Structure 1
């Protein structure tokens, strides 16, 4: 049986050792740095913020929450699917999910994470968005 202390340890590991610094985590989750510090101290975090933390830290949602399975995300779409199943959330797609849409989703998530961790600057995102618009305007 998992304990609050176990959860708190995993949460802290994801925050401290993950792919993003605390300030970037706060920005990505749209909370203050003080809120992230409270998560670390008290272990009180919403499911949505826990999922966002998993995305930006690179740690799997279910591992942080329950300590089950592997620590690190190997597939962004698999982490999202596990989250949706765990929380009985519903997601609706405009079209059937297939390999191509899964790759697109992974690309979008990679760009989102790279921007949140400041690997991609705002200017780089602007240029990338302009490039994608030129492709879709053909």
Structure 2
């Protein structure tokens, strides 16, 4: 029997697939899976992380919401935790605000590890230092 988290995830996946811009056949084709796989994800909620990330990307729904039901549903909705800093940054540059939001979501989804964040930070710091010379 499915646990409650899988039932809830199935409901979220169903919403994303049925409300997203692509139909099930297009989603299956782009993810390189059978149409029945997409149907099973909607029914059961059991899906691997790579395909869940793909569904998020293809439908515009946020990975974290699809996986856990937490936070805003869609990529274009503001994240309450980030609202103030992103809003302040967006006053000057919407592109930079989107970068901050993406880093936050990658961190929350545990895609961006602390080591990767440190390396990225070092790269940006080196880039800035090279521009000062």
TM-score above 0.5: yes
Instruction: Return the match for 2:24 from 1, 22, 34.
Output: 22
* TM-score, L = length of structure 1: 0.57
Deviations 1:4-30 (A, max 9, x none): 221111111011111211111112211
**Inter-partner Cα distance in structure 2 for 1:30 and 1:3:** 26
Structure 1, gaps ≥5 residues long: 98-138
Instruction: Report how many residues are paired.
Output: 95
**Structure possessing the higher relative contact order (Cα contacts under 8 Å, 6 or more residues apart):** 1
Asked which structure has the greater CA Rg, the reply is: 2
The alpha carbon displacement at 1:41 in A equals 1.7
Name structure 2 gaps, 5 residues minimum: 78-97, 126-133
Alignment TM-score, normalising by the size of structure 2 = 0.59
- Cα gap change, 1:22/1:83 in structure 2, threshold over 3 Å: closer, same or farther? farther
- RMSD between aligned alpha carbons? 2.7
Do the aligned residues in 2 keep the contact of 1:62 with 1:83 (CA within 8 Å)? no
Structure 1 stretches of at least 4 aligned residues deviating more than 6 Å after TM superposition: none
2:90 alignment counterpart: none
Please state if 1:96 is matched with 2:124: yes
